[in-house]
Structure 1
Amino acid sequence: MTIKTSKAERVTRHVPPFGTQQFVEPRAELAVHDDGFLLTSPLTLSSPERTVVEYLRASASQWPDRVMLADRVMTDDWRKITYAEAMSQVNSVAQSLLNRGIGKGDVVAIIAPNSIEQAIIMFAALTVGAAVSPISLSYAMFPAARARLVSTYTTAAPKILFVQDANVIAEALADLDLSGAELISAAEATGATTFASLTNEPVTAAVDEAYAAIQPDWIGKLLFTSGSTGNPKAVINTHGMMASNLAMMAMVNLRDRNEHSILLDWLPWHHTFGGNVVLTEAIMVGATFYIDDGKPIPGPMMQRTIDAIKAIKPTVYNCVPAGLGMLADAMDSDPALREAMFSRLSVLRYGGAGLSDTVYQKLQRHCEAVSGQRVPTVTAYAMTEASPAAAILHWPTDSAACAGVPLPGVEMKLVQLGEGRLEIRLRGPSIFPGYLNEPALNAEVFDDEGFFKTGDVCRLLDSENPAAGIAYDGRVSEDFKLETGNWVNVGQIRTELLESFDGLFSDLVITGDRKPFVAAMGWLRSVPDGCETDNGILLPTPALREKLTQKIAAWNEINSASSRRIERLILLAEPACQEKGEVNDKQYINQRAVLKYRADIVERIYADEPLPAAVSADL
């Protein structure tokens, strides 16, 4: 991706250094392999632990009195639990599970917000060899998503179902067949075992015996895909996968275990980023983890997050690009938020999607205003099937385009698709063995060398220097052909088009499958006064229309090919709907779902009569 504005900016202004944190130099090796390349790390993976529970046990021993978790789920005040207290509760709940006959081959499902109780029962289940299956709480909260709740629960087939408050989701629970499971609720509820009753169980030698029996290839978690192409699939995460991935990241992310990290985080634990990276890595390094019950989305939840940042002043912050964009915008008019975010932040991590260079540079300018330095940013090429990171950007950079280099132990096969585009396939100890109960699908998603066919596309940032890393370039399945037969690279166009609008849009969706031309639909980051709506479409004011027209004309001037030229742009009035799967819990836009549920708007774009609301370089 060509980043025009940031290059010019670096020429005309002094660029402050990154913080004082030490980093491992990026290293990668590229070899020719059949119809492509093999990209690997020259570093040898150190011996990982059998299970991530070992990190909790070690931290509880080293920092028994340090606060491990704090939340506001059951109260407006912060509830806190130390590492020693958490370890004691984990062992008691583990004993309670053993007393119920729960162990290897059994599943403990979770439908709950991030909370102290969820963490305790999660690690207790892992301790006795049972699999944990966290299910999106949104499936229970939104009636339109209820079918996904039933599907995921049925697939998991749990013996134990933990919820934070059975009263709140009683209607959803009524749709589930609970006959084979014990319902456990953190809040008292009729027909449910109270979680607190599990935390005082006297611990016997059986807990350590069960823990000692765990093998790396045992199932540790069943994490569900987003279900963008059907019902969510259960991704098997073994104990060895999760422990290997943490060991890989520890080799390239230099973290001083004597430094007390303070995290504030909202990322849901039923997603691999929040549950497999943020939570377990925080425990591994003995961090104090404040659970943010807000979320960087428009409305009161955003203010909840802003207030929490001001109160906690984190040293490590994790987010998704959409959230970082909103926080960056909020800092423009809230210097107290900017000061709180960057006064002691040592690293900023993001994942789930690519971060626009516009937002990246704005965040760095905010950081410079506070500390005089830039904050190191870390991101990764990751997915649920890789537990989650396969490649990681672990060194300072002044661009958001790079997705990193392969982690030690990960083999990345890059199959040539043409025009510099490479399909990513993965193999290694952190890559999943398959989807649960999906033999036909599993036969399709692995090639004859055992590489997982991710369906993702990347580019080498520098073919002569593999250590420069890869850049994510979209999904093979998102690309489409125009009626002319020309292929359209959706991921690349979306990313570069977002950049060309200089932060005007929070996200875009590209259209044109079997149509005569490429068009785009998008959500403005901020809607100016005077805009009206018409059947889900935002009607731009004359000033806004002129500005957008100029932007499209500038884009088309250097992107004249039919596969890249944008003929029409539509502003969407209604936000992406989580109930319909248009956006997930991490605010990642599902292009396929948006096109499905807004098919009427798409058809109007391509109608014979030009859509009056459409913006075009020719209108």
Structure 2
Amino acid sequence: MSPAFEGRLRTPRMLPPDAIVSRDDRGRLRVRSPHVLGPYPATLTHCLAKWADRAPDRTFVAARRPDGFWERLTYRVAFERTRSVAQALLDRGLSADRPIVILSGNGLEHAVLGLAAMHAGVPYAPIAPSYSLISQDHRTLAAVCAAMRPGLIFAAEGERFDRALASLALPDDVEVVTGSPATGLSRQTSFAALLATTATAAVEDAHARVGPDTVAKVLFTSGSTGAPKGVINTQRMLTANQEQIRSVLAFLADEPPVLCDWLPWNHTFGGNHNVGLTLYNGGTLYIDAGTPTPAGFATTAANLREIATTAYFNVPRGYDLLLQALRGDADFCHRFFGRLQILFYAAAGLRQEVSDGIDQLAVEACGERVPWVSGLGATETAPFALCTGAMAVPVSGRVGVAAPGVELKLEPVGALLEARVRGPNVTPGYWRDPALTRAAFDDDGFYAMGDALGCVDPADPARGFTFQGRIAEDFKLSTGTWVRVGPLRAALLSALGELAQDVVIAAPERDDVRVLVFPNLAACRRLAGLPAGAPVGDVLDGEAVCAGFATALSAFSAAQAGSSTRVLRALLLAEPPSIDAGEITDKGSINQKAVLRRRVALVDALYGARPPMRFIDVEERTIDA
């Protein structure tokens, strides 16, 4: 595939996507990198100590203050605060039996507390703030805390977490620490009190006992196909994975990276990949308080206009919004593309028109295109496992080859090939759940990712692999034909463009494929010519919106050859996905099975006596397209 826009491609130093492929004695593909993984430190905070010595005055992490100025932690100050807080944790007798739970999102106090916990050998679990701030029943938060059995809970903005903390009915021996007071708590400790602790030799003694197998943190998966579960992240996982990332993205060693990043630290992409990448390479991370939503991206754009990043990491929805912000703003384009080495995306496919638009703006601003990079990983792999290397043009579904140190096995599961991995970056299991741990690994010790992969070129598997969806999401029609949910969902989202936020494919044991659609209300309002605050019902009932969906779905299905990919009807959902019902994860991914369970009546209506294709059912109202 040739690039849509001419212009030379920047060539940051990167490892070529090479692979050695063999077949084992049972005919399964085995894949590994020909490149040897280099050495890596025993603990992540070794990196903090190193940069505090070599670049003490360099900014490690920065966050906006209410007055708009950046508050910065240099490497020296970050290490000093880490040691002070580590002493405070040791004074409280915190340990693997009494770990730490962090309720609040990305922030300077969160960064210091997490580093202090790792330095002292105390596991901690950063929890999605949505479980506290958006959830109405706090059941998921209660389940996570019950699993962790913490000795200390931290919330940076205590008042915002009042209701969530009150819902937990905490035992007396659980200390609550807040950055600013929680008005509903009678007992709490200020984070400033932890910072005021004087570090002693006990900190170094504790750190000397921290090794590669020590649990650094527990990350609760977002549960895209089930309930959240606590993934153990060891020190070895974190440091080995950072060496794997730097092996592939070799330019990280040439100049300290600068990131401006919103990705949540309770998730492996933000908290492991990006925070770790910054720390491992002595870089600087600016905490972006924006979100990849129409309302939240203005904050992100303002930050990116100020901070010239060397690498940019986001999910595809973030790139949609970035393109809109860059268009017509030459100064922003020059600033954004000026020193950028790569554009990295994960979690879903990137629409062609979005990547083309960004490439065009890069060429107009700098005369060069910036290479795209993607891959495949999981919370259980810390997360970096497969990577494409530099792509002149991003190809939907392309995930690349195994990173150095990763062994990839493709195991036949029915007609699919499941990705299974083994390596120093792979979790030893799940927090206090030996049964779940046993079920996650095969007899050879490979972690079964649950992701189906296909070969870019079946005649030459060394060319890399493509993502074929989550095996647990696939189902059969009543005819016995398999529906591959992942590829179909990606193709539908591409066909619907900006009109759809997400789609859910229905339904097992039915005669044909139909879909539930979560519309992108901002785009639908624009199409309908309605203002931003227009009621959802008015937007989705409008002729222009229904016609837009009907036209896109009709064109899509007309191009399909079989019943497993042809969509006969769609239902636009006015009610957004519910976090309490498990329909949406903390990072915005849809749990397909949870949506189908909760909205079974709508699914039944979708398959009931309704008009044929080219009609869009809107909350059980039929409108001729």
Settle same-fold status: TM greater than 0.5.
yes
Q: Who is 1:585 aligned against? A: 586
> Are residue 151 (structure 1) and residue 152 (structure 2) matched?
no
> Are residue 48 (structure 1) and residue 37 (structure 2) matched?
no
> Are residue 219 (structure 1) and residue 215 (structure 2) matched?
yes
Q: After superposition, where does 1:370-389 map in structure 2 within 5 Å?
A: 370-389=365-384
* Larger displacement relative to structure 2 (208-217 or 364-373): 364-373
Q: Who is 1:205 aligned against? A: 201
Q: Who is 1:89 aligned against? A: 81
Cα distance in structure 1, aligned partners of 2:384 and 2:335: 29
Q: How far did residue 327 of structure 1 move?
A: 2.0
> Cα deviation per residue 1:190-241 (whole Å; 9 max; x = unaligned)?
5211111222322222211211111211111111012345542111111111
Cα distance in structure 1, aligned partners of 2:423 and 2:254: 31
Q: After superposition, where does 1:547-586 map in structure 2 within 5 Å?
A: 548-586=549-587
> Are residue 108 (structure 1) and residue 100 (structure 2) matched?
yes
Q: 1:242 to 1:181 in 2, by over 3 A?
A: same
> Are residue 302 (structure 1) and residue 297 (structure 2) matched?
yes
Q: Which amino acid aligns with 2:432?
A: N
Q: How far did residue 588 of structure 1 move?
A: 2.2
> Cα deviation per residue 1:167-197 (whole Å; 9 max; x = unaligned)?
2211110122242321111114452111112
Cα distance in structure 2, aligned partners of 1:209 and 1:540: 67
> Are residue 174 (structure 1) and residue 166 (structure 2) matched?
yes
> Alignment partner for residue 466 of structure 1, among 448, 455, 461?
461
Q: Which amino acid aligns with 1:32?
A: R
Aligned Cα RMSD in Å? 2.6
Q: How far did residue 333 of structure 1 move?
A: 5.2
Cα distance in structure 2, aligned partners of 1:370 and 1:590: 39
Q: How far did residue 312 of structure 1 move?
A: 1.9
Cα distance in structure 2, aligned partners of 1:329 and 1:145: 36
> Alignment partner for residue 183 of structure 1, among 170, 176, 181?
176
Q: Which amino acid aligns with 1:538?
A: L
Q: Which amino acid aligns with 1:463?
A: P
Q: Who is 1:599 aligned against? A: 600
Q: 1:364 to 1:148 in 2, by over 3 A?
A: same
Q: How far did residue 160 of structure 1 move?
A: 1.6
Q: How far did residue 346 of structure 1 move?
A: 2.1
Q: 1:257 to 1:31 in 2, by over 3 A?
A: closer
Q: Who is 1:391 aligned against? A: 386
Q: After superposition, where does 1:408-423 map in structure 2 within 5 Å?
A: 408-417=404-413, 421-423=416-418
Cα distance in structure 2, aligned partners of 1:256 and 1:495: 31
Q: Which amino acid aligns with 1:364?
A: D
Contact 2:225 2:473 in 1 (8 A): no
Q: How far did residue 548 of structure 1 move?
A: 4.4
> Alignment partner for residue 427 of structure 2, among 426, 432, 443?
432
Contact 2:30 2:409 in 1 (8 A): yes
> Are residue 347 (structure 1) and residue 349 (structure 2) matched?
no
> Cα deviation per residue 1:343-402 (whole Å; 9 max; x = unaligned)?
332222222233233322222222222222111222221111111111112223312332
> Are residue 129 (structure 1) and residue 121 (structure 2) matched?
yes
Contact 1:261 1:315 in 2 (8 A): yes
Cα distance in structure 2, aligned partners of 1:393 and 1:377: 9
> Cα deviation per residue 1:475-532 (whole Å; 9 max; x = unaligned)?
1111111122211001111112323345543432222222121122334441112689
Q: Who is 2:616 aligned against? A: 613
Q: How far did residue 600 of structure 1 move?
A: 3.2
SS at match of 2:616: coil
* Larger displacement relative to structure 2 (585-594 or 288-297): 585-594
Contact 1:386 1:431 in 2 (8 A): yes
Q: How far did residue 470 of structure 1 move?
A: 1.3
Q: Who is 1:4 aligned against? A: none
SS at match of 1:56: helix
Contact 1:158 1:180 in 2 (8 A): no
Contact 2:224 2:585 in 1 (8 A): no
> Are residue 120 (structure 1) and residue 109 (structure 2) matched?
no
Q: Who is 2:282 aligned against? A: 286
> Cα deviation per residue 1:294-340 (whole Å; 9 max; x = unaligned)?
212132x2222222222223232221112222222333455554444
Q: Which amino acid aligns with 1:62?
A: R
Q: How far did residue 578 of structure 1 move?
A: 4.0
Cα distance in structure 2, aligned partners of 1:104 and 1:575: 38
Q: 1:123 to 1:364 in 2, by over 3 A?
A: same
Q: Who is 2:90 aligned against? A: 98
SS at match of 1:255: helix
> Are residue 269 (structure 1) and residue 265 (structure 2) matched?
yes
Q: 1:384 to 1:565 in 2, by over 3 A?
A: same
Q: 1:224 to 1:26 in 2, by over 3 A?
A: same
Contact 1:92 1:199 in 2 (8 A): yes
Q: Which amino acid aligns with 2:146?
A: T
Cα distance in structure 1, aligned partners of 2:590 and 2:343: 22
Cα distance in structure 1, aligned partners of 2:192 and 2:129: 21
Q: After superposition, where does 1:489-508 map in structure 2 within 5 Å?
A: 489-508=484-503
Q: 1:513 to 1:24 in 2, by over 3 A?
A: same
* Larger displacement relative to structure 2 (192-201 or 529-538): 529-538
Contact 1:539 1:613 in 2 (8 A): no
Contact 1:409 1:428 in 2 (8 A): yes
Q: 1:596 to 1:105 in 2, by over 3 A?
A: same
Cα distance in structure 1, aligned partners of 2:161 and 2:536: 35
Unaligned runs of 5+ in 2: none
Question: What is the total number of aligned residue pairs between the two structures?
Answer: 606
Contact 2:100 2:153 in 1 (8 A): yes
> Alignment partner for residue 239 of structure 1, among 230, 235, 240?
235
Q: 1:530 to 1:257 in 2, by over 3 A?
A: closer
Q: Who is 1:479 aligned against? A: 474
* Larger displacement relative to structure 2 (500-509 or 59-68): 500-509
Q: 1:510 to 1:148 in 2, by over 3 A?
A: same
Q: 1:263 to 1:256 in 2, by over 3 A?
A: closer
* Larger displacement relative to structure 2 (249-258 or 116-125): 249-258
Cα distance in structure 2, aligned partners of 1:333 and 1:601: 42
* Larger displacement relative to structure 2 (87-96 or 528-537): 528-537
Contact 1:272 1:383 in 2 (8 A): yes
Identity %: 34
Cα distance in structure 2, aligned partners of 1:445 and 1:288: 36
Q: How far did residue 550 of structure 1 move?
A: 4.5
Q: Which amino acid aligns with 1:391?
A: L
* Larger displacement relative to structure 2 (269-278 or 195-204): 195-204
Q: Which amino acid aligns with 1:15?
A: E
TM-score (ref. length: structure 1): 0.91
* Larger displacement relative to structure 2 (145-154 or 551-560): 551-560
> Are residue 541 (structure 1) and residue 533 (structure 2) matched?
no
> Are residue 16 (structure 1) and residue 7 (structure 2) matched?
yes
Cα distance in structure 1, aligned partners of 2:212 and 2:529: 60
Q: Who is 1:3 aligned against? A: none
Q: 1:514 to 1:534 in 2, by over 3 A?
A: farther
